[in-house]
Structure 1
Amino acid sequence: MLWAHDEHELERAYRVRITRAAQTDDTLRQLVDHTRQTVTLQQREAKAVPLIPVTVDHPGFTSVPDGARYPHTIQLVTDSLLPADTDEALQDSAQELFTDLTNQFGLD
């Protein structure tokens, strides 16, 4: 048997929970909408602007090479470096990474 005081407390507790659930639901909707807008904006920006290779000539002038490709993303390039590698092995690794990156732009 519930007393009137207990019923009032129970009703108040339910109202508080319903209010909190509604606030949480609104906050979650706002977060999802914000995330969706951010992702959409990033996708538009990523697709709209291709990467342009710019080279620097000896006296410091910049130019875009003829026949260069303009990729929208750069593919991952990797190489392994070991602490015990010689200077020559490190230079070879650096050259391989450089070549892999420049090939994505059509630069030889």
Structure 2
Amino acid sequence: MNIKVITLTGEHCISVDDGQKIFDLVHPLLEKGEDVTLDFTDIHICASPFFNTAIGQLLRDIPIEQLQGHLKFVNLSPYGNQVAKKVISNAKEYYTNPNLQKAIDDTLLGIAESA
């Protein structure tokens, strides 16, 4: 399936809400082993919160090999590509390392409780 990201997010891919739109669309397809291409034509800005939600959380349920084999990015700016790669790397580490996951979760919980 080819998804024109701009039709779901507009020309800026920044927010968690926009990332969730992409996640909700691609997650079931990737779980079934379907090929998904995200087309970033006419997208001007991409940010980490968007990619964390759209792509990072996919690794909670989908092995990295399956994600790499079935998810493609096209027309993504060099900076957007760099951010996406970093998000995938961080998410892979988070979801495969229980000690890291616990440390991050505990830290975030502590911050939330003190706010």
Largest Rg, 1 or 2: 1
TM-score, normalised to structure 1's length? 0.25
TM-score, normalised to structure 2's length? 0.24
Structure having the larger proportion of residues in helix: 2
